[in-house]
Amino acid sequence: MFPSQFLFSKAWALLSMCASLLLRHPRPFNSWSWSTILPICLCRCLLILSTQSCLLRTCLSLSCATSSSLRQWTSFIGLLNFAGRTLIYGRVCIKRFERLVYLGYLLHPYDTDGSISIRPSLQPDFHWWLAHLPNARRPIHPGPFVRVIFTDASSTGWGAVSDIASTRGLRSARERDMHINELELRAALFGLRCLAQDLQNCSVLLLIDNTTAVAYINKMGGIRYSHLNAIARNIWQWCETRRIYLHSFLRKCSR
């Protein structure tokens, strides 16, 4: 769907919804009328729709380009962060774009006109946005947690426990040399795959005793450490295929 067709279809759906509201509820509140409320709602919705339309055009152009200026790329990420709020898993596919800005400013400090190369590895993120943005929507609240999973990790092994089962495993020789932050994220991934594989369309709570792992999960990745972002990305992509909303809390250790 072209951006103009997308904007027209969304605006038509919005006007149809407003007409049905007017017919069903002539006066929504005692001191407010639809003549006051509707212009505010229409302006806000049209702002989001125009941003989504602009974002679609920008995604199409940048996905075919091999380079961009830091100024243009930063503006593109600003649109993503604004319109991406309508997508539950949108932030997962922003982190690698943001890392490109981080690396670009390391190469060109204080130079917004500096050029950066758009890597072919970013194409899956472009394709994700182009596929999901036209039908962007998200629930207001993800709902109560249907399962709580405790995970823990060390240099020798990992474990995960829920209210119905438990699982554990040993580390390989390669994994024993990894940093504890990476080990904790890998334990969260393994725990989810083992203890939440039967769940769909629900919310899951992860309790972890590592602040970095909690932050990378709740923020759907990070830009400074690409290996940690890769694990967080795998976690959220696994959740996306099952429509699982994930949240993590810091678990206090009792030693």
Residues 162 and 116 grouped into a single domain: no
Domain-embedded: residue 140 = no
Query: How many domains is the chain partitioned into structurally?
Result: 2
The pLDDT of residue 26: 52
What is the DSSP-derived secondary structure letter of residue 157?
E
The pLDDT of residue 29: 46
Give yes or no for a contact between 214 and 250, defined as CB atoms under 8 angstroms apart.
yes
Residues 155 and 130 grouped into a single domain: no
Residue 24: count other Cβ atoms within 10 Å of its Cβ: 8
Residues 21 and 70 grouped into a single domain: yes
Domain-embedded: residue 104 = yes
CA 135, 46, 129, 204 torsion-angle sign = negative
User: In terms of residue numbers, what domain contains 45?
Assistant: 3-135
- In sequence order, the 6+-apart residues with CB closer than 8 A to the CB of 148 are 162, 163, 204, 205, 207
- In sequence order, the 6+-apart residues with CB closer than 8 A to the CB of 227 are 182
pTM: 0.78
CATH of the domain at 231: 3.30.420.10
The pLDDT of residue 151: 95
Residues 100 and 151 grouped into a single domain: no
Residues 186 and 80 grouped into a single domain: no
Residues 153 and 223 grouped into a single domain: yes
Domain boundary among 135, 163, 180: 135
Domain boundary among 135, 168, 192: 135
Residues 20 and 118 grouped into a single domain: yes
Tens-level pLDDT at each residue, the chain (255 residues): 444 455 555 555 555 655 555 555 555 544 445 555 555 555 555 556 666 777 888 898 999 999 999 999 998 998 888 777 778 898 999 999 999 999 988 888 888 888 899 999 999 999 999 888 877 666 656 678 999 999 999 989 999 999 889 999 998 888 888 999 999 999 999 999 999 999 999 999 999 999 999 999 999 999 999 999 999 999 999 999 999 999 999 987 655
Domain-embedded: residue 106 = yes
Residues 128 and 151 grouped into a single domain: no
- In sequence order, the 6+-apart residues with CB closer than 8 A to the CB of 8 are none
Backbone angles phi, psi at 151, to 5 degrees: -130, 150
Domain-embedded: residue 226 = yes
Domain boundary among 135, 153, 188: 135
Residues 181 and 240 grouped into a single domain: yes
Task: Give the C-alpha distances (Å, rounded to integers) separating 100 from 94, 96, 117, 139, 217.
Answer: 10, 6, 9, 30, 20
What is the DSSP-derived secondary structure letter of residue 252?
P
Q: How far apart are CA 52 and CA 54, in angstroms?
A: 5
The pLDDT of residue 35: 55
Domain-embedded: residue 255 = no
